[in-house]
């Protein structure tokens, strides 16, 4: 899979996506992630990519042309149109199910807005979907783009050591994940649940499932109801 990120702050994205699991997967050739500087695609000699909004108002709006030129460069290099996503609080909230669907695509282009947003005309022309990571506003689309990239990349083949690494996680399975424990066996007077020390794998799996059900019912009744009804 190839993920392209169009941004005014490629170094910010690289600082995160060059580390940990995604960074190792990139270096191993399991996934490609490229961060493109939108300013490189402007025709303005001062590398300007924004202007004042028509109709007045505070802030600046990112212009169509630099974003469109960046998009066309990606299309030319890929030889096809990538699935293009604009990170926006106006978009549908990202879910694990949507991340699974996106992980099966070959090419994705993520556009990061900034300032007061992006000229609607370029959104209408090239964007396939708008996604949000929550009902709040950030200063730009870089953090949401990194969240989306991490969420999608870790489900691509070879990025994690085994599919079970994500299949048992919270949300993916339909339930919140059970609690985890490690050494020491006793910490600050609190002991690891005895069942986890029993070596009886069937009982351990049963306990973990019960814990997941209990946590989900308490903290996310919406997920719990959906899981129960699915069963």
Please report, for the chain, the start and end positions of each structural domain, with discontinuous segments joined by +.
2-153, 168-230
CATH classification number, 2-153, choose in 3.40.1280.10, 1.10.3720.10, 3.30.1160.10, 3.40.50.2020 = 3.40.1280.10
Amino acid 161: pLDDT: 72
What's the CATH class of domain 168-230?
mainly alpha
pLDDT digits (tens, 9 = 90+) for 100-117: 999 999 999 999 999 899
Q: Would you state the torsion angle of the CA atoms of residues 127, 132, 133, 135, taken in this order, to the nearest 10 degrees?
A: 170
Q: pTM surpassing 0.85?
A: yes
User: 230 falls in which pLDDT band (50, 70, 90)?
Assistant: confident
DSSP lists the bridge partners of residue 100 as none
* Mean model confidence pLDDT for the chain: 94
Amino acid 83: pLDDT: 98
Query: DSSP letter string over 150-197?
Result: HHHHTTSTTTSS-THHHHTSTTTTSSPPPP---S-SEETTEEPPGGGG
Helix, strand, coil shares of the chain as percentages rounded to 5? 45, 20, 40
pLDDT digits (tens, 9 = 90+) for 162-219: 665 555 565 777 899 999 999 999 999 999 999 999 999 999 999 999 999 999 999 9
Amino acid 48: pLDDT: 96
Tallying the residues shown for the chain, one arrives at 231
pLDDT exceeds cutoff 70 at 55: yes
């Amino acid at each position: 899979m190839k993920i392209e990120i169009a941004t005014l702050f490629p170094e910010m994205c690289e600082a995160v996506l060059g580390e940990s699991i995604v960074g190792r997967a990139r270096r191993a050739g399991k996934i490609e992630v490229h961060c493109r500087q939108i300013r490189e695609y402007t025709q303005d000699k001062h590398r300007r990519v924004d202007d004042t909004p028509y109709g007045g108002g505070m802030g600046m709006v990112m212009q169509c042309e630099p974003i469109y030129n960046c998009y066309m460069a990606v299309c030319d290099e890929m030889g096809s149109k990538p699935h293009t996503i604009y990170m926006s609080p106006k978009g549908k909230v990202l879910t694990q199910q949507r991340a699974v669907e996106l992980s099966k695509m070959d090419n994705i282009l993520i556009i990061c807005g900034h300032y007061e947003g992006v000229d609607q005309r370029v959104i209408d022309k090239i964007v396939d979907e708008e996604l949000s990571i929550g009902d709040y506003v950030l200063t730009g689309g870089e953090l949401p783009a990194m969240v989306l990239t991490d969420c999608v990349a870790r489900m691509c083949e070879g990025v994690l050591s085994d599919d079970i690494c994500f299949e048992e996680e919270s949300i993916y399975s339909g339930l919140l994940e059970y609690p985890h424990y490690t050494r020491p066996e006793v910490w600050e007077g609190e002991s690891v649940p005895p069942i986890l020390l029993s070596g009886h794998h069937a009982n351990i799996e049963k306990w973990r499932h019960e814990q997941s059900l209990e946590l989900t019912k308490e903290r996310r009744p919406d997920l719990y109801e959906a899981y129960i009804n699915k069963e």
